Every structure is written in structure tokens, then in C-alpha cells.
Amino acid sequence: MKIDISSGLVKEARQHLSPNCDKRPDQTDISLIVVHGISLPPGEFDNDYIDQLFTNNLNPDDHPYFKEIEGLKVSSHLLIKRNGELVQYVPLHERAWHAGVSSYMGRDGCNNFSIGIELEGTDELPYTGIQYETLSELVKSLINVYPALTEQTIAGHSDIAPGRKTDPGKAFDWQHLNSLLSS
């Protein structure tokens, strides 16, 4: 994958830019990748609701669950859909609003120094093979562009916000990702 360091855009990604971002305190400090899991409504896939959520266009009348998250202002840098499609919402050098209250290796506020990657899925259902392939290609490209990133600086949302978040869940196969990264 090709990453344009000046624009912060991934060439292979469909761009659907979100207003839910701002400047990082230190644009040179990108030192963590956070893996998330998301589906809207919960357990449903292959629709436009994630795009709508991340761009503040989610209609609360479309599903009862949406009333619970009405007014939420969140984003992620990237989403990998079940079919492997890559969508980008926030340029990589900007701060996406994906981690919330979080801490990694003694550093609070993970949004400040991380790249958030959502996988379309749930904690319980296995993620697809093409999602792992796309994720590993993306991570390898990120590691090549951002020197502070390594195969060891990848965490789940549940790792940086334990007790508050559970994603990407027990269905996420960390060993499989690690084997793809090392090949």
C-alpha cells in the first residue's frame, strides 16, 4: 500500500473524510496502532451506517440502537470492511477520535499518538481472511512510513481501555495477524 506522508492518505483507501478529528499535539509522534471492531447496528454488516456515524450523518430513526449513540462524535483513521475494502476517514497525521479514555505503556490519551483501525465485525464472530490480509498489508506500510511503529506497538481497544472496551474481542486472531506480519 502507498501512503502519502504529506497528505496522510492511503492511496488504496476509499476516502470518506470525517469532521471528527483535530491536530495531534505532536504530529511526529505516531507510535501506536489500535485495532477496533465495529458493526452498526450491532451484528449487522455491509451497509453505510459506519460511514454515517463517522461523518455525523447517522439518522437515529433508522434503528433503535442509533438513538443510544445519537450525537456521538467519533471517528477512526481507517476501516476494513468484511470484504477487505479499505475506507479512510481521517488523514494519518491528524488525531482521530477513536480511543476515548485510554492508556498505553503508561501514556494516557492514546488518540494523541495512535492510528485507529476499525474492522467491521463483532467480538464473537470471526473476522474474514481478507480483513487480516488487508490489515497486515496496511500495518506493514504504516511501519515503513512511521519509524516509531513496530509489530510490537499494536494493541486492541480492549488493551488500552480495559473494563470499558472489549473490541476487537475474543474472535480476533492475534496469532494469525502476527504470522502474516512476519511473512
Whole-angstrom CA distances from 8 to 26, 52, 88, 116 are: 14, 22, 10, 13
Bond preceding residue 168 cis, omega within 30 of 0: yes
- Cα distance between residue 82 and residue 121, in whole Å: 7
Residue 145 CA: distances (Å) to CA of 1, 52, 84? 11, 29, 22
CATH entry 3.40.50.720 includes domain 3-182: no
CA distance linking residue 79 with residue 12, whole number of Å: 12
pTM: 0.98
Q: List 37's β-bridge partners, or say none.
A: 119
- pLDDT tens digit at each of 183 positions of the chain: 999 999 999 999 999 999 999 999 998 999 999 999 999 999 999 999 999 999 999 999 999 999 999 999 999 999 999 999 999 999 999 999 999 999 999 999 999 999 999 999 999 999 999 999 999 999 999 999 999 999 999 999 999 999 999 999 999 999 999 999 998
Active-site annotation holds for 133: no
Catalytic entry in 85, 118, 137, 151? 118
Q: Cβ neighbours of residue 21 under 8 Å, at least 6 residues apart?
A: 75, 89, 90, 91, 94, 95, 96, 97
